[in-house]
Chain A
Amino acid sequence: MSSVMANAYMKMFPMEGEKKISAGKRNPVLDVPEFNKAWNLHRETSLDIMKRYEYMSQCLNFTDKDTEAIKESKEILAPHLEAILDHIYWEKLVNDPWLSRWFRDETGKIAKEYVTIRRARQRRFLLKILECKWDEEFWNFVRWVGAVHVPIFGFEDLYIPMRLNLALWGYIHQYLFNFLAEQLKDDPEKLRRITTAWTKLFWMIIDVYHIDYFGAWM
């Protein structure tokens, strides 16, 4: 078997290419209560997206106060959403020497129609976030958006590197925070509340988005 994904996988895990020899003994790791608990937690939060959300919410202390803070931010962000997206896609991404690689056609020119589609998809993502409905439908949507960036549905040539996702989310994070800091410079408490909530939410989104990228050990 040879494909972009298979080659990438074998480079990442060279041990997979070696001869398999049984160690000849059972692995007692699940006899250790802490590991058993961790395994069950991983298994359950991989199978049930709402358990994943609940677990991550506890880890990050993402509470109703954070949801309220994100709702508060809607009145600041929504009127500027188009300008924010224009900046991210038409100023930052298409001009960044590395990130723009994913927006160029085979001749090296920026594929404008493709950028328009990516921008529209990001717009839909942000609109769904601003609805603040953290239900199963929302988290399945986040997971699905991540999953379609890897060959999980059989498109072996499709593999968007995780570092690209992190660069994009990192840039959106940074840009939103600078924007909010400017808008809320006279209300530092509100700024703290909103940026704290968005930071927690970004981490939960990044976690769920990448569920189908990796096993938990990676």
Chain B
Amino acid sequence: MGTNIIRFEGNCIKCVMCIEEAKKVFDYSEEAGPLVKHGVDIASHGEDVKRAVLVCPTQRIKYHP
């Protein structure tokens, strides 16, 4: 497993809290929910991503720092 990888598993219920917690990392798509922004340096926003993982109600965000 590489480092600083974000994966999504299962369904998104569109609560958008992940976007609120890590707005520099995630974009929002009406269809898919959160998407990782192209070219973003995930490592430099690691704490924000961890908070997004923590608040996700479906626990579908998997972060490997």
Name A's B-contacting residues (CB within 8 A): 113, 116-117, 119-121, 123-124, 127
- Complex Cα distance, B11 from A117, in Å, reads 13
Top 3 A-B pairs, shortest CB-CB distance: A120-B57, A117-B15, A124-B55
For residue A120, which residues in chain B have a CB less than 8 angstroms away from its CB?
Answer: 15, 17, 55-57
Query: What is the distance, in angstroms, from A121's C-beta to the closest C-beta of chain B?
Result: 7
A-B CB contacts (within 8 Å), total count:
24
Residue of A116, A120, A127 ringed by the most chain B CB atoms within 10 A: A120
Closest chain B CB from A74 CB (angstroms): 15
CB distance from A45 to the nearest CB of B (A): 26
Q: Binding site of B, secondary structure by majority: helix, strand, loop or mixed?
A: loop
Chain A residues near B13 (CB, 8 Å)? 113, 116-117
A119 and B54 form a contact (CB under 8 A): no
Interface size bracket, B side: under 10
- Cβ-closest chain B residue relative to A125: B55
- Output the least CB separation between B16 and chain A (Å): 9
Please tell me if the beta carbons of A127 and B54 are within 8 angstroms of each other in the complex: yes
What CA separation (Å) do A176 and B55 show in the bound complex?
Answer: 21
What's the dominant secondary structure at chain A's contact region?
helix
Give B14's nearest chain A residue, CB to CB. A117
Contact across chains for A121 and B54 when beta carbons are under 8 A apart: no
* Nearest CB of chain A from residue B20's CB, rounded to whole Å: 9
Expressed in whole angstroms, the minimum distance between the Cβ of B14 and any Cβ of chain A is 8
Chain A, Cβ-Cβ closest to B13? A113
- Mask of B1-41 contacts with A, CB within 8 angstroms, 1/0: 00000000000011101000000000000000000000000
The minimal Cβ–Cβ distance linking B50 to chain A, given in whole angstroms, is 12
CA distance A124 to B14 in the complex (A): 15
Q: Return chain B residues, CB-CB under 8 Å to A127.
A: 54-55
Q: Are A116 and B54 in contact (CB under 8 A)?
A: no
Separation of A17 and B13 alpha carbons in the complex (Å): 43
Contact sample, A vs B, 17 pairs, CB 8 Å cutoff: A113-B13, A116-B57, A117-B13, A117-B14, A117-B57, A119-B57, A120-B15, A120-B55, A120-B56, A120-B57, A121-B15, A123-B55, A123-B57, A124-B17, A124-B54, A127-B54, A127-B55
Contacts of A124 in B (CB 8 A): 17, 54-55
Give CA–CA (A123, B54) in the complex, Å: 10
Please name all residues of chain A whose beta carbon is closer than 8 Å to the beta carbon of B15 when the two chains form the complex. Answer: 116-117, 120-121
For B57, list chain A residues within 8 Å (CB): 116-117, 119-120, 123
Distance between Cα atoms of A119 and B57 in the complex (Å): 8
A127 and B15 CA atoms in complex are apart in Å by 17
Given contact pairs A113-B13, A117-B15, A123-B55, enumerate 20 new A-B contacts (beta carbons under 8 Å).
Answer: A116-B13, A116-B15, A116-B57, A116-B58, A117-B13, A117-B14, A117-B57, A119-B57, A120-B15, A120-B17, A120-B55, A120-B57, A121-B15, A121-B17, A123-B57, A124-B17, A124-B54, A124-B55, A127-B54, A127-B55
